[in-house]
């Protein structure tokens, strides 16, 4: 696990974009795993800047979102389908038909989830999985105590996650109670993972993920087993790390 501590969130976005660009360079059909939420927004904005300048082209790539709310109309502005369209597909000039989001309104959610895993496999797997981490340590919507072997499936959101995400809705009650999320096993199959976390509210989860035991109570800690994971954080998110100076020294 590489840990890169950046002076601020802006720099973290640029450093994370460097890693993503490096990992997909030269690939004929890059396959991107896409997180939503606030954490990757600067990373996406930086990738979009590179697309605009001609330095990066992902128009031939494929995308697979990490998760979707269950039961939320895909046309809702806060569905992850809408968020991915707004923050990734448009700005990165990707082909909307090649960017997939789990189906949260399928009649049989598990059948749709199995099809989603099959589509990732058919694409040859994810080259770079972009990630954030929840304040409770969740990865995707794999809440604490999710199986490390899990595949895409329905999960119940914790009260903590629903309260964290209430800022995107008009009232806390409108936050869906369930989701469809790639499993931890699905995420771990990615060839590279780039996780961005910024802000002091992420410090405890970041410390547990990087320095804590690999434990179901912090799903993000499974990344300690990932062969190629980089954690890009700002000083505030690094504030709970006992080994922060060591990580700064390596980045030197």
Specify the DSSP class assigned to residue 196: E
Smaller CB separation from ligand F6R, 58 or 198: 198
Smaller CB separation from ligand F6R, 23 or 64: 64
Q: Give kind and range of the element (H or E) at residue 62.
A: strand 62-65
Q: Give kind and range of the element (H or E) at residue 48.
A: helix 41-53
Q: Give kind and range of the element (H or E) at residue 75.
A: none
The dihedrals phi and psi of 96, each to the nearest 5 degrees, come to: -55, -30
Count other C-beta atoms under 10 Å from residue 36's C-beta.
28
Smaller CB separation from ligand F6R, 4 or 101: 101
CB 9 within 8 A of CB 198: yes
Specify the DSSP class assigned to residue 87: I
Smaller CB separation from ligand F6R, 39 or 150: 39
Residue 100 beta carbon to ligand F6R: minimum distance, rounded to whole angstroms: 13
Residue 28 beta carbon to ligand F6R: minimum distance, rounded to whole angstroms: 27
Residue 183 beta carbon to ligand F6R: minimum distance, rounded to whole angstroms: 12
Residue 48 beta carbon to ligand F6R: minimum distance, rounded to whole angstroms: 17
Specify the DSSP class assigned to residue 11: H
- Dmax (CA) for the chain in angstroms is 52
Footprint of ligand F6R (CB under 6 A): 35-39, 66-67, 132-134, 138-141
3-state secondary structure of 246: helix
Smaller CB separation from ligand F6R, 38 or 82: 38
Cβ burial 67-82 (10 Å sphere, 16+ → b, else e): bbbbebeeeeebbbbb
Of 192, 188, 179, residue with least CA distance to 220: 188
Opening angle at CA 98, ends 13 and 16, nearest 5 = 10
Smaller CB separation from ligand F6R, 132 or 245: 132
Residue 238 beta carbon to ligand F6R: minimum distance, rounded to whole angstroms: 16
Spatial separation of the C-alpha atoms in residues 67 and 104, rounded to whole Å: 9
Residue 41 beta carbon to ligand F6R: minimum distance, rounded to whole angstroms: 8
The dihedrals phi and psi of 67, each to the nearest 5 degrees, come to: -160, 170
Q: Hey, which residues are catalytic here?
A: 67, 136, 138, 143
């Amino acid at each position: 696990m590489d840990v890169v501590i950046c002076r601020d969130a802006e720099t973290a976005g640029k450093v994370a974009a460097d890693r993503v660009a490096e990992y997909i360079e030269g690939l004929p059909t890059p396959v991107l795993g896409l997180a939503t939420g606030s954490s990757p927004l600067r990373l996406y904005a930086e990738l979009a800047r590179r697309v605009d300048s001609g330095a990066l082209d992902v128009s031939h790539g494929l995308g697979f979102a990490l998760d979707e709310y269950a039961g939320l109309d895909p046309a809702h502005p806060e569905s992850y389908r809408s968020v991915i369209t707004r923050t990734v597909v448009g700005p990165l000039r990707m082909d909307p038909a090649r960017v997939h989001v789990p189906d949260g309104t399928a009649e049989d959610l598990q059948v749709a989830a199995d099809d989603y895993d099959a589509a990732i496999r058919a694409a040859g797997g994810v080259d770079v999985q972009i990630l954030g981490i929840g304040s409770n340590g969740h990865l995707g919507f794999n809440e604490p105590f999710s199986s490390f072997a899990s595949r895409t499936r329905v999960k119940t959101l914790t009260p903590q996650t629903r309260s964290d995400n209430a800022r995107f809705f008009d009232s806390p009650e409108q936050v869906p109670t369930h989701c469809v999320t790639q499993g931890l096993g699905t995420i771990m199959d990615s060839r590279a993972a780039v996780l961005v976390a910024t802000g002091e509210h992420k410090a405890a989860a970041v410390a547990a993920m990087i320095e804590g035991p690999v434990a179901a109570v912090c799903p993000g800690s499974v990344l300690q087993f990932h062969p190629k994971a980089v954690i890009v954080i700002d000083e505030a998110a690094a504030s709970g790390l006992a080994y922060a100076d060591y990580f700064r020294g390596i980045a030197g």
